[in-house]
């Protein structure tokens, strides 16, 4: 198993903040720093900080490259599979409803999300 528990939320809440938690883990920032950064992007877009368009732009502007996974088996490629195929590097992976950080062969989350389907990833190209 390549799962590592971590909750970046300063009050250890498990709310709809997976985007903030995953980005904080992947970028080595605090939950508060990422939340405030995303709020600026959200304000400019007149959207919510966990809207795909908001956090995607944030990641792109901070050295991540988005990759769409091939559509050969859209429901069979899991977080566990992604980790197995990507033992080195920093990634944000998502299934459209949840995102999780993958760091050097471990997915870092508040629950074991290894069976979730991966539809896209962002790879960090600079640290």
How does pLDDT run across 7-56, given as a tens digit for each residue? 999 999 988 999 999 999 999 999 999 999 999 999 999 999 999 999 99
State pLDDT tens for residues 72-124.
Answer: 776 789 999 999 999 999 999 999 899 999 999 999 999 999 999 999 999 99
Give 49-78 pLDDT, tens digit per residue: 999 999 999 999 999 999 988 777 767 899
Long-range contacts: 26-30, Cβ < 8 Å, 24+? 26/90, 26/91, 26/92, 26/101, 26/103, 26/124, 27/62, 27/124
Strands 99-103 and 64-68: unpaired
Model pLDDT, residue 126: 74
Distance, CA of 72 to CA of 75 (rounded, Å): 9
């Amino acid at each position: 198993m390549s799962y590592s528990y971590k909750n970046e939320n300063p009050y250890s809440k498990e709310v709809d903040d997976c985007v903030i938690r995953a980005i904080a883990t992947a970028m080595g920032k605090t939950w508060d720093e990422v939340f405030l950064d995303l709020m600026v992007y959200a304000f400019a877009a007149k959207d919510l900080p966990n809207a795909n368009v908001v956090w995607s732009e944030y990641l792109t502007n901070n050295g991540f490259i988005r990759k769409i996974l091939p559509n050969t088996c859209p429901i069979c490629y899991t977080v566990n599979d992604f980790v197995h195929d990507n033992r080195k590097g920093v990634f944000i992976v998502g299934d459209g409803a949840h995102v999780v950080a993958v760091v050097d062969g471990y997915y870092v989350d508040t629950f074991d999300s290894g069976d979730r389907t991966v539809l896209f990833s962002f790879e960090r190209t600079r640290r």
